Amino acid sequence: MHIRNLSIRLKLALLILTSSGIAVFFASSGFTVYESQSYRASAVRELTALADTLGANTAASLAFNDQATAKAMLGALQTEPHLLAAYLYDFQGHVFAEYRSQGSPTNLILSVRRPDGASFDRDTLTLFRGVYLNGERTGTIALVYDLRDFRSLVLEYAKIAILVLFLSVVASFLFSLRLARFIGDPLVKLAAVARHISTEKDYSIRAQFGSGGETGLLVDSFNEMLTQIESRESALKDALRSLEESEERYALAARGANDGLWDWNLVSGEIYFSPRWNHMLGNAESEQWADPDEWFKRIHDDDRERVRAEIAAHCANKTPEFVSEYRMRHNSGGYVWMLSRGIAIRDESGKPIRMAGSQTDVTEGKIADPLTRIPNRLYFLDRLEAAIESSKCHGAHFAVLFIDLDHFKLVNDSLGHAAGDELLIDVAGRLRASIRSNARQSGPVQSVVARIGGDEFAILLGHIEHESDASTVASRVLERLNEPFHIEGRRMFVSASIGIALGSSGNTPEDLLRNADTAMYHAKSNGKARFEFFSDGLRAQAITRFETETGLRKAIDENQLVVYYQPIVSLANHCICGYEALVRWNHPERGLVAPGEFIPIAEESDLILLLGRWVLREACRQMAEWQLQNPAEPPLVISVNVSARQLSDPRLVEDVELALAESGLRHESLALEMTESSIMGDAEQTLDALNRLKRMNIRLEIDDFGTGYSSLSYLQRLPFDILKIDRSFVNELGVGDGSRSIVKAILELGHSFGMEVIAEGVETDLQLISLRQLGCIYIQGYLFSRPLDADAANRFYRKSRETGLTLRT
């Protein structure tokens, strides 16, 4: 074990031990050496003194050659225990006298004189010293001293020194252990804390012991360092956590947003698609590298080259990012709309090496109706196309249901758009619910409910065997819609008309939808709240309708239209007081066409505006002419029908002014006739137009009063002058009391508002009598005259002025 690896306590102990040992060793050695040296010195000194004394004492013996005395004197040395021998030499160096102690070794014979001085042997100290008499040397004395006792003394010293050394080593070892603990313990504890921290990774731990001096500084610095590490650690953790969170958040966001991810290595040509990317196309949620063609070959033929061009443009750094919307073929057969965004990563030279981004299914945004969240017309046509394709391949049967709410406009107008929107959402939900049982079935054609526009919905019905399957669904739809709606706290009833076109009835999505639409119109005209199948008959009707529409456009241009006039009679004076202008189409092949056959068709398009404008001008012109012809007669009033579309046409007032100006007709001679429902179309705009017309002194007339959702408030707010009782009430007069009460009520209502009331459709005397009894003054109907062309009307007028009106009965 190397001393470096020892613990600091042991090192300290060793250090103290070694240094104290060395100190004690040197002290003991020094002491011993010093003792020995000083002993020798003192021995030499003592011996010298002894020799001098002896010399002085024996000088006389030498001088007087008295060996006996000298010997006797040397014999006195017996009292010196360590003196082994003494020799006295005469001047010539011969031994003059000698002394040997009893214990002295026999070989100790100094027969030869040596030079003066002390010399140490192993066991002896020998000193030669001169003997002087009055400063004159007379001989030499030699003393031999026994050092054995001294040696044993030195040995004793050494033993004591070793003992002291041992004791001091033991003592300093014990002391050094304590000292080492004192110094080393804080360090050991500190090391333990550091080790604990490094294993536990818990930087909140602190060295919890006080200490002074450098160790205290070390502990404080250590703790301070820990605080810094801890704060750095926590900052790091926070940063890591927020990084993880943001990564997680991004992953969640990507999942939540249903984003698929792709990562294209442009160098290797491989592309990575995330599981979500695959899932969005109906693939297994695998995660693997693939060929980019997997992507491109799925893109719709119409979009593929554009997408490639957009990617190329971004790679060429012409666009800041790659953003593209395109269709991709889903495994189920249809196409889904994808929005892809991506960014290229470039090397130093700007060459793109990698491109990555997301792909979002935006089909719903593309195809969903924003209000009801069900598919829109675009998507419906797309699915329909897929259905047609599928039908060609698999012979699958399907049907298209076209659903139009009856009287939706009324709801929208009377309760407001918010209520209308709420109703549409509710209807969409019910429609979805009504096909749900069919939707569960799987097959080549999936059922789809879509909002086609306004209050029009369509259902693509997959999986039908027979027509009856379609009619079952249609019935279910009608039932569901029959249940009351709760809109803005109101309970209301809505009905719908449904047209059904079987998949076999058309070749294109547009065809099929139009056919269903046609069938729906048929249902509406057959009394609403019902469904009708598209048939060959309807196809013929549709063709007729189409031809009518084109023919009508031509008719306006070629003056094939004729205005007929039906007189309005006043029972007060039995005079004709005015005419209602009614348009007829004098078709070159079909002869005279009734308005019911072309007016509804015209109303579906802007043709009604052209037609209305033409009738207005013609009627005004005719009336002005008549008034010129009969200046003496009281001025007649011409009633011209204005359709809903005309009312909402901003040009209406302008058209009226123009017609009046052209004809020179007095304003009060023109009455504009409109139905209740048409007034309610765009209420504010209509009200404004009506007010302007009223200020022009033009008379305003409500047609078909009592049939619509007429509101009394309208009568108050709108400046109407004339009210026309619907012919249905008049027809019933005399049949039952119900209609009589209604007619009576309408009359009273009209009169109470200061309006003139006209009863139309009067055909019998009985009706006339009833009306007269009820106080009705103005009568219109076959009883007096059917609508007549201008000439006939003029003749009829003149005749009435001449002969008076004759009632047919």
Partner 1 sequence: MRAQTDDEYRIKAAFLFHFAQFIEWPSGVLNAKDSTLNLCISDDEPRLKEVQGTIEGKRIGMRVLHVRPINPSEELQGCNMIFFGSDQAPRQAAILRRLRGQPVLTVGESADFLSDGGMIRFHIEESKIRFDINLGASDSAHLKISSQLLLLASVVMRGNGSGAGR
Binding site for partner 1 (CB under 8 A): 57, 59-61, 63-66, 69, 133-136
Judging by beta carbons within 10 Å of its beta carbon (0-12, 13-18, 19+), is residue 501 exposed, middle or buried?
buried
* Shortest distance in whole angstroms from residue 73 CB to partner 1: 9
Which is closer to partner 1, CB of 134 or CB of 288?
134
786 three-class SS = coil
* Shortest distance in whole angstroms from residue 48 CB to partner 1: 20
Which is closer to partner 1, CB of 96 or CB of 408?
96
- How many helices (H) and strands (E) in the chain? 25, 27
305-312: long-range pairs with CB below 8 Å, 24+: 307/340, 311/342, 311/355
CA–CA separation, 302 vs 292, rounded Å?
Answer: 18
Which is closer to partner 1, CB of 62 or CB of 718?
62
Pairing status of strand 722-725 against strand 699-705: parallel
CA–CA separation, 22 vs 11, rounded Å?
Answer: 16
Judging by beta carbons within 10 Å of its beta carbon (0-12, 13-18, 19+), is residue 37 exposed, middle or buried?
exposed
* Shortest distance in whole angstroms from residue 58 CB to partner 1: 9
**Residue matched to tokens 């009209």:** 750
String of b and e for 171-186 (b: at least 16 CB within 10 Å)? Answer: ebbeebbebbeebbeb
Which is closer to partner 1, CB of 60 or CB of 164?
60
Amino acid at 368: A
CA–CA separation, 88 vs 95, rounded Å?
Answer: 6
Which is closer to partner 1, CB of 52 or CB of 364?
52
As given in the structure block, the two tokens for residue 302 are 């119409």
CA–CA separation, 689 vs 677, rounded Å?
Answer: 16
* Shortest distance in whole angstroms from residue 132 CB to partner 1: 11
CA–CA separation, 321 vs 671, rounded Å?
Answer: 64
**Residue matched to tokens 């009455």:** 671
As given in the structure block, the two tokens for residue 269 are 């040509």
* Shortest distance in whole angstroms from residue 116 CB to partner 1: 22
Which is closer to partner 1, CB of 63 or CB of 562?
63
Which is closer to partner 1, CB of 136 or CB of 220?
136
Amino acid at 610: L
* Shortest distance in whole angstroms from residue 91 CB to partner 1: 12
* Shortest distance in whole angstroms from residue 138 CB to partner 1: 9
Which is closer to partner 1, CB of 69 or CB of 472?
69
Which is closer to partner 1, CB of 129 or CB of 397?
129
Q: What is the dihedral of CA 662, 666, 668, 673, to 10 degrees?
A: -30
Which is closer to partner 1, CB of 135 or CB of 804?
135
As given in the structure block, the two tokens for residue 397 are 């049967």
As given in the structure block, the two tokens for residue 807 are 């009632």
Question: Is the distance from CB of 795 to CB of 570 less than 8 angstroms?
Answer: no
Q: What are the DSSP calls for 95-159, one per residue?
A: EEEEEE-TTS-TT----S---SEEEE-SSEEEEEEEEEETTEEEEEEEEEEE-HHHHHHHHHHHH
Measuring CA to CA, which residue among 701, 772, 703, 782 is closest to residue 733?
A: 772
CA–CA separation, 703 vs 676, rounded Å?
Answer: 7
Which is closer to partner 1, CB of 73 or CB of 568?
73
**Edge-to-edge order in the sheet of strand 456-461:** 448-453, 456-461, 399-406, 495-502, 531-533
Which is closer to partner 1, CB of 134 or CB of 199?
134
* Shortest distance in whole angstroms from residue 79 CB to partner 1: 18
Which is closer to partner 1, CB of 48 or CB of 57?
57
Which is closer to partner 1, CB of 137 or CB of 195?
137
Question: Is the distance from CB of 141 to CB of 55 less than 8 angstroms?
Answer: yes
Judging by beta carbons within 10 Å of its beta carbon (0-12, 13-18, 19+), is residue 46 exposed, middle or buried?
middle
**Residue matched to tokens 């959702």:** 709
CA–CA separation, 764 vs 196, rounded Å?
Answer: 115
CA–CA separation, 701 vs 698, rounded Å?
Answer: 10
Q: Is 559 left (phi over 0), alpha (psi -120 to 50) or beta?
A: left
DSSP letter at 376?
A: B
* Shortest distance in whole angstroms from residue 136 CB to partner 1: 8
Q: What are the DSSP calls for 565-624, one per residue?
A: EEEEEETTTTEEEEEEEEEEEEETTTEEEPHHHHHHHHHTSTHHHHHHHHHHHHHHHHHH
Which is closer to partner 1, CB of 63 or CB of 339?
63
* Shortest distance in whole angstroms from residue 147 CB to partner 1: 32
As given in the structure block, the two tokens for residue 578 are 């005015």
Which is closer to partner 1, CB of 29 or CB of 65?
65
* Shortest distance in whole angstroms from residue 113 CB to partner 1: 21
Which is closer to partner 1, CB of 73 or CB of 743?
73
* Shortest distance in whole angstroms from residue 65 CB to partner 1: 7
* Shortest distance in whole angstroms from residue 137 CB to partner 1: 13
321 three-class SS = coil
Which is closer to partner 1, CB of 86 or CB of 520?
86
Question: Is the distance from CB of 670 to CB of 694 less than 8 angstroms?
Answer: no
Amino acid at 222: F
* Shortest distance in whole angstroms from residue 20 CB to partner 1: 59
Measuring CA to CA, which residue among 569, 675, 672, 563 is closest to residue 619?
A: 563
